[in-house]
Structure formats: structure tokens, C-alpha cells
Amino acid sequence: MAEKQDLMEKIVSLAKRRGFIYQSSEIYGGLAGTYDYGPIGVSLKRNIERLWWKRFVESREDMYVLDTAVIMPEAVWKASGHLEGFTDPMVACSNCKSRFRADHLEDKNKCPSCGKTGTLGEAEQFNLLFPVERGAAKGGTTTGYLRGEIAQGMFVNFKNVIDSFHPKLPFGIAQSGKAFRNEIAPREFLFRVREFDLMEFEYFIRPEDWEERFEYWRKEMWAWIEEIGITKENVHELEVGADDRAHYSKRTIDFEFDYPFGRKELYGLAYRTDYDLSRHAEASKENLAYLDEETKQRFVPHVIEPTFGLGRTVLAVLVSAYAEDELGGETRTYLKLPAAIAPYRAMVSPLLKNKPELVAKAKGVFDVLKKEFGNIAWDDNGNIGKRYRRQDEIGTPSCITIDFDTLENDTVTVRDRDTGEQKRIAIAELASMLRA
């Protein structure tokens, strides 16, 4: 356990040191449960999101995408059941005033913060939605809510998508974006925060097909987990029991990951039935039924929802990629990230910074690669060993060095991050090597 705790500390410290993730508003003491992504973290996060988009949207013909508003009116959350049911059980300590999730307590009689026994009161349900006052008129404002899940934006636009595109069942509506939850006890770095990114889709189906579609998306989620470089052996399915399922779900599988702080949810796969569309149809008085052109049947489609937390993905990817070994007699740290999501695909550097002919040649190579790949780093700081170490820590798969031989024969050394091995490659072959 101490080793695992140590791993978490190492990851948090690397994330800060190398510009992946910072505590939000840190110079003011930090805002609990919120993090900011730094330059390297933004690249990692965007690459993951881009890959998700490519796999689940662009490579398919049955997905329609949206980008919906973050603030939604009270009526939406009332109809969706979130005003009533989007709650966690909370207990407060009468001694130190700390608050906890009642279902996360190891010892129900002992306060985990001050250690006193018998000071935790009765559990009460705490709603996680963030209310927002909208409008400027005194006494005339209305209450909206920051979205606690991005799904509702897709349900309330179901009719718009149908009317514009007349999609045939089954089809999905996908989006990615921020969600907000007033978590009782945010903790474990990116794992439980109050503001986070989600990537998900609502997949609309005929009711009788739900088991088959559920199985299909379950397999697709595993394929994604593999593609993204999360250690498969550390992911486990959990069949969520009826008492623990969200209010809208008839079947849920959680994909749990072995984080250094324990086995906890990474993703969810839920069968939401026709719950959301039916509730919105009833509350809005809009007809949200689907007309099957072939059978002329009219019915409310059912929904399978695979949901992917982006922050938890970043964390699981970092935990899976983090490695230490001995190289050249020294201990080194590196991130064995898949090339498709590494913040930089490659780093280019002149062997010596003070040799203008090497620098000019290296700049030429850098410019060509940068134009094609975009995420190419330039590093001429410190000696070459230091540059390699730096790139290892941010997971750059290849380091390209321009030396005196390059000036003679247009070849460069390419160093592999994982093995530390170097080979000589012609400049003309670099782009195809990086593309592979």
C-alpha cells in the first residue's frame, strides 16, 4: 500500500513538474476539487479526446454530434430526475465539522478527519447539482443548473436531430464537454473533482435489441481501453446491483481501474431504457417518439449509454504508462504512452547548441516535421542526456539528434524512449517512420 501511495505521489509530482496538471488557482491556496491542465497535459488530454472522437464518431456512420450548453434550466433537471435523485449520502462530524460521503466511510462510527468516535451524525441526502442564478433583474432571476452530466443536452435535442437528419435506428448522439458536480469530498487528484470532462454518447435502439447492443458496446469499450494504453489487467467489470444503480438505469456495468488508491470506477455502461426521453416528452409536452418509416410504428427509442470520464482516463493512462528502470547506470523515469496520445510525437535537437551548422540543420529537420505533425518538440537545453531524460518523463516516443555525421550524409540518430536504443535513419525516412 505504501508503495502504491508512493506511486501516486510520484505521478502528482511529475504532473506538476513537467507541466501536465496544476492545482487550480494555486497562488491563492488552490480551489478544492479543481485542476488546471498545463501545456503538456493539454496535449495529452486533447490527443485522448481526438482519438475517442475518431474511434466513436468519425470512423462510424451512425453518430450525430452536438455541443450543448453548460447551463440548463431547472425544468430539464426536474424532468430528468436529477433534482430529486442526483444525490449522495452525506454525514458531518460534530467535532471537526468535516463532511464525508457516508457510503465511502471505512468505519461508520469514526471521523476519518479528527479520529473521534461517535461524532458522525445521521446521513442526509446531498444534491450534487450546482445551481446558477440567471439574469440581472432584481427578484426576476431564474435558477438554472450547471449540467451534472452531459447526457441531458443530447436528450433535449433528440427531436432536433430527428427532424434535421431523419436517422435510422440504431444511431447515436455524441458529445464531449464539461460536467459539474458539487462532490461532498473531492479527492485523489483527478479522480474525484467538481469540474470534469466527459465523452459520451446516447445510442438509440429498438427496445427489443437492448441486450445485443449492450454487449456490443461493452466489447467496444474494451477495445478503446486497449487502444489508449490503459493496462487491461488492471480494469475490471462490476455488475452494479439494483440498489446502487443510478435512478434511470435498468442495467449498469462499471469498468473499474486499479488506481494506486484502490479499485474504483473509470467508465460506465448503462441501459437507460426510454426513461429520459419519456420523462422529457411528458414534462415538455413535445412528442419525442420515433417514427419507423419501414414498419410505420411510432415508439420512444431505448438508450444504451457508454460514458467515458476524460480526467479519469488521463489518470489511468498516466498510472499505466508510469515506469522506472535503470539506463546507463542511472535510474530513470519514463512514460510509455502510446505514440498516438503522447504530448509530443518526437523531439528534435542539435547535438551541440553552439555549433551554428548543427543548429541550422536541426532547425530544417524540425520545421519539416513540425509542419506535418504539429506536436514536435525542439530542445537544445543542457546536454543530450538531460534532454532525453526530460522527454522520457513526458513520454516522447522518439528523440532525433542532428550530429556531425548528419552534415556529411543526411542521417540522424533516433533514440527510442522505451529501450534507450539508438539507430541511424536517413532524414528522408523520418516522416514515414513517425507516421507508422
> Footprint of ligand ATP on this chain (CB under 6 A)?
181, 183, 192-193, 196, 198, 265-268, 307, 309, 311-312
Distance separating alpha carbons of residues 174 and 63, to the nearest angstrom:
7
Smallest gap, in angstroms, from Cβ of residue 248 to ligand ATP?
A: 10
Q: Where are the beta strands (DSSP E) in 135-274?
A: 142-146, 171-180, 195-205, 235-239, 251-259, 262-273
Smallest gap, in angstroms, from Cβ of residue 378 to ligand ATP?
A: 34
Smallest gap, in angstroms, from Cβ of residue 177 to ligand ATP?
A: 12
Distance separating alpha carbons of residues 303 and 275, to the nearest angstrom:
9
Q: How many CA atoms lie within 13 A of 389 on its CB side?
A: 15
| 3-class DSSP state of 287 | coil
Q: Which of residues 14 and 246 has its CB atom nearest to ligand ATP in the complex? A: 246
| 3-class DSSP state of 117 | strand
DSSP state of 364: H
Under a CB-based contact definition with an 8 Å cutoff, are residues 344 and 396 in contact?
yes
CA angle 71, 123, 34 (to 5 degrees): 40
Q: Which of residues 158 and 267 has its CB atom nearest to ligand ATP in the complex? A: 267
Which positions ≥6 away from 3 have C-beta within 8 Å? none
DSSP state of 103: G
Burial track 286-315 (b if 16+ CB lie within 10 A, e otherwise): eebbbeeeeeeeeebbbbbbbbbbbbbbbb
Q: Which of residues 144 and 309 has its CB atom nearest to ligand ATP in the complex? A: 309
Q: Which of residues 174 and 399 has its CB atom nearest to ligand ATP in the complex? A: 174
Q: Which of residues 202 and 393 has its CB atom nearest to ligand ATP in the complex? A: 202
Q: Which of residues 23 and 284 has its CB atom nearest to ligand ATP in the complex? A: 23
| 3-class DSSP state of 166 | coil
Q: Which of residues 153 and 309 has its CB atom nearest to ligand ATP in the complex? A: 309
What are the φ/ψ torsions at residue 277 (nearest 5 degrees)? Answer: -65, -40
Which positions ≥6 away from 179 have C-beta within 8 Å? 147, 148, 149, 150, 195, 196, 197, 198
Q: Which of residues 318 and 365 has its CB atom nearest to ligand ATP in the complex? A: 318
For ligand ATP, which residue has the nearest CB? 309
Smallest gap, in angstroms, from Cβ of residue 66 to ligand ATP?
A: 17
Under a CB-based contact definition with an 8 Å cutoff, are residues 91 and 113 in contact?
no
Q: Which of residues 209 and 265 has its CB atom nearest to ligand ATP in the complex? A: 265
Distance separating alpha carbons of residues 432 and 73, to the nearest angstrom:
51
Smallest gap, in angstroms, from Cβ of residue 307 to ligand ATP?
A: 4
Smallest gap, in angstroms, from Cβ of residue 227 to ligand ATP?
A: 17
